[in-house]
């Protein structure tokens, strides 16, 4: 079996993980200081969000030099040290490949806007804008005074889109792939990798959000570019996971089917939006039935899945699908969600802090937010005359900043993240929710994550078994994993009430430590049984 199917991937958002030099921003030396905890957790791969030189218009997803380390995170020697220290612990590292766009401060863009013949077609320029808009709810074209033309950007205006109709651009990115693979990277998480190739620049069908999407989402041109990258990747023992925005199942299959393997796996979004509408911000009622239907679709639709419930763009899963209204419900629902994650088939991804049940932040207004997407969503909702209180309720629940508050290492000031002033506020609940309080507590969320990761590692049924949905209603979610004759049953109560549910089998693990089955599920109880 491929090693990347066996291992658990842990995502580090470096600016919020661990600060070693007291400037309030996490850094590479800080990561090295915490590798022991990651080893203890059972991590086999680190996905490192961008640490490259960047002016930070989009927190590092606007890169000005792909083959560098931004001084705020340290030096290339620090990065080499991280590769070797991680390797000593048998932890591989995949880098974040953000190549749909660069920063407008990248030398390629500086030369392109200056009409340098070698670079003038590295980006997408036009004499007049079309009607497309961005993922950040703004116009997708900005007029450049130097060039005297408009340039396309599907995200921030400081993130100009590269032109993948230009073979030189593809060759440049192949060099970036080789640079990091030669340094020891074990692959890449590929940012918005399904929107690289724009069919044409004509006006598109008007949409409430993302007008222009049909012009660039998973186009045949994108497949061809990915095939070119695959030729380089196949020279190395590595894997790729594509972040594929708005992807549907048919597109996902075409991107990561076993034959073409343009990508080894992809992140899709449906399972995190069963209680959301209009691009994740507008809430609707959660139903376990809906979540099970979506999981069934993707578990049985793809040959191999990337299983995740958090990342640097998503709200904290225990606040989203769990219950933080009281300590016992918080603990139990965090463990229930871990039970879900590690009994699904696919490579599990854990986001920093998820393993200790970190919750959404406790900010009180949009003015406290750092994230450009959240601030622009507030502006857009204001245009629709949504009242401030309701705007904040929606944005506070879905903002990407929920995942970006510093990791809570202990109960000291700034949660042990920094000796300086943290770049983004530390959640006040770090006094009770932190690594130090959980490391040696057998009942902690952290200990349960370690147990579930160990359980998965030892079970081919959980890793590779078929996913068979069973009991479904709006509160209880249950399924069977089957591999040959072996079957494991999983049942979860996504509600604060006791629920009747007949369960047979021999208990393997539960988040309540029960020793026998009783036909009733306690609030947020999860049970895994051998059938
Ligand atoms: O989370 C999202 C989908 O619901 C969007 O907020 C997100 O912007 C989109 O998925 C693309 O995300 C990636 O590309 C962006 C960057 O801001 C995100 O952090 C990154 O994950 C542009 O590089």
Q: What is the pTM of this model?
A: 0.98
| Closest protein CA for atom 12 of ligand 1 | 192
What is the 3-state secondary structure of 341-357?
HHHCCCEEEEECCHHHC
155 touches ligand 1 (CB under 6 Å): yes
CA of 313 to the centre of ligand 1 (A): 6
pLDDT at residue 281, as a whole number? 85
| Closest protein CA for atom 9 of ligand 1 | 245
CA of 226 to the centre of ligand 1 (A): 19
For the chain (length 531 residues), average pLDDT per consecutive 10?
A: 96 98 98 98 98 98 98 98 98 98 98 98 98 96 98 98 98 98 98 98 95 98 97 98 97 88 96 86 92 97 97 98 98 98 98 98 91 93 94 95 98 98 97 98 98 98 97 89 98 96 94 94 98 96
pLDDT at residue 172, as a whole number? 98
| Closest protein CA for atom 15 of ligand 1 | 61
Among the listed residues 70, 78, 191, 262, the single catalytic one is: 191
pLDDT at residue 181, as a whole number? 98
93 touches ligand 1 (CB under 6 Å): no
Q: Which residues contact 110 (CB under 8 A, 6 or more apart)?
A: none
47 touches ligand 1 (CB under 6 Å): no
* Closest atom of ligand 1 relative to the 279 alpha carbon: 4
CB 365 within 8 A of CB 375: no
480 touches ligand 1 (CB under 6 Å): no
CA of 312 to the centre of ligand 1 (A): 9
276 touches ligand 1 (CB under 6 Å): no
Question: How do beta strands 187-190 and 141-144 pair?
Answer: unpaired
* Closest atom of ligand 1 relative to the 273 alpha carbon: 4
pLDDT at residue 73, as a whole number? 98
Among the listed residues 27, 70, 78, 243, the single catalytic one is: 243
pLDDT at residue 279, as a whole number? 63
| Closest protein CA for atom 16 of ligand 1 | 61
| Closest protein CA for atom 3 of ligand 1 | 245
State which of 135, 275, 403 you would mutate to test the pocket of ligand 1, scoring each by most atoms of that ligand within 8 A of its C-beta.
135
Measured N-to-C along each axis, helices 372-383 and 388-398 cross at an angle, to the nearest 10 degrees, of: 150
Of 405, 406, 400, 402, residue with least CA distance to 376:
400
Copy the structure tokens of residue 323. 């219950």
To the query of whether residue 355 is one of the catalytic residues in this protein, the response is no
CA of 235 to the centre of ligand 1 (A): 29
To the query of whether residue 172 is one of the catalytic residues in this protein, the response is no
Determine how many CB atoms are found less than 10 A away from the CB of residue 74: 22
Measured N-to-C along each axis, helices 249-256 and 220-233 cross at an angle, to the nearest 10 degrees, of: 30
CB 350 within 8 A of CB 8: yes
């Amino acid at each position: 079996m491929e090693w990347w199917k066996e291992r658990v991937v842990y995502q580090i958002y470096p600016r919020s993980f661990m600060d070693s030099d007291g400037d309030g921003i996490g850094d590479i030396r800080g990561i090295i200081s915490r590798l022991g905890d990651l080893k203890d957790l059972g991590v086999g791969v680190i996905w490192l969000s961008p640490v490259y030189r960047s002016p930070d218009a989009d927190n590092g997803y606007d890169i000005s030099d792909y083959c560098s380390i931004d001084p705020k995170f340290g030096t290339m020697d620090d990065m080499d040290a991280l590769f070797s220290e991680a390797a000593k612990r048998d932890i591989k590292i995949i880098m974040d490949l953000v190549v749909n766009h660069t920063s407008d401060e990248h030398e390629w863009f500086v030369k392109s806007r200056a009409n340098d013949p070698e670079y003038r077609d590295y980006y997408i320029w036009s004499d007049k804008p079309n009607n497309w808009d961005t993922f950040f709810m703004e116009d997708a074209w900005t007029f450049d005074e130097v060039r005297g033309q408009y340039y396309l950007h599907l995200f921030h205006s400081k993130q100009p889109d590269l032109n993948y109709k230009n073979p030189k651009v593809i060759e440049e990115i192949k060099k970036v792939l080789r640079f990091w693979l030669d340094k020891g990277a074990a692959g890449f998480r590929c940012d918005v990798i399904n929107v690289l190739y724009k069919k044409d620049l004509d006006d598109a069908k008007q949409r409430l959000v993302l007008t222009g999407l049909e012009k660039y989402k998973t186009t045949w041109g994108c497949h061809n570019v990915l095939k070119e990258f695959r030729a380089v990747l196949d020279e190395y023992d590595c894997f790729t996971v594509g972040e594929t925005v708005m992807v549907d199942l048919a597109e996902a299959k075409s991107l990561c089917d076993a034959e073409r393997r343009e990508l080894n796996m992809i992140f899709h979004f449906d399972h995190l939006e069963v209680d959301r509408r209009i691009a994740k911000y507008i809430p609707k009622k959660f139903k376990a039935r809906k979540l099970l239907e979506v999981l069934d679709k993707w578990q049985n639709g793809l040959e191999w899945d990337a299983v995740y419930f958090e990342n640097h763009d998503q709200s904290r899963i225990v606040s989203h699908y769990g219950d933080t209204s009281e300590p016992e419900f918080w603990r139990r629902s965090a463990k229930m969600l871990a039970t879900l994650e590690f009994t699904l088939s696919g490579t599990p991804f854990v986001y920093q802090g998820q393993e200790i049940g970190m919750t959404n932040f406790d900010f009180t207004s949009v003015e406290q937010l750092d994230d450009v997407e959240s601030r622009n969503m507030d502006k857009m909702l204001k245009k629709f005359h949504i009242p401030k209180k309701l705007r904040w309720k929606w944005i506070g629940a879905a903002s990407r900043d929920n995942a970006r508050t510093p990791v809570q290492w202990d109960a000291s000031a700034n949660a042990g993240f920094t000796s300086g002033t943290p770049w983004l506020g530390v959640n006040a609940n770090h006094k009770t929710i932190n690594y130090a309080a959980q490391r040696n507590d057998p009942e902690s969320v952290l200990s349960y994550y370690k147990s579930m990761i160990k359980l998965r590692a030892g079970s081919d049924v959980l890793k590779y078994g078929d996913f068979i949905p069973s009991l479904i209603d709006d509160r209880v979610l249950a399924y069977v994993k089957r591999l040959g004759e072996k079957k494991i049953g999983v049942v979860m109560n996504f509600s604060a009430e006791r629920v009747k549910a007949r369960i047979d089998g021999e208990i393997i693990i539960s988040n309540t430590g029960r020793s026998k089955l009783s036909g009733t599920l306690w609030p947020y109880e999860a049970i895994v049984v051998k059938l």
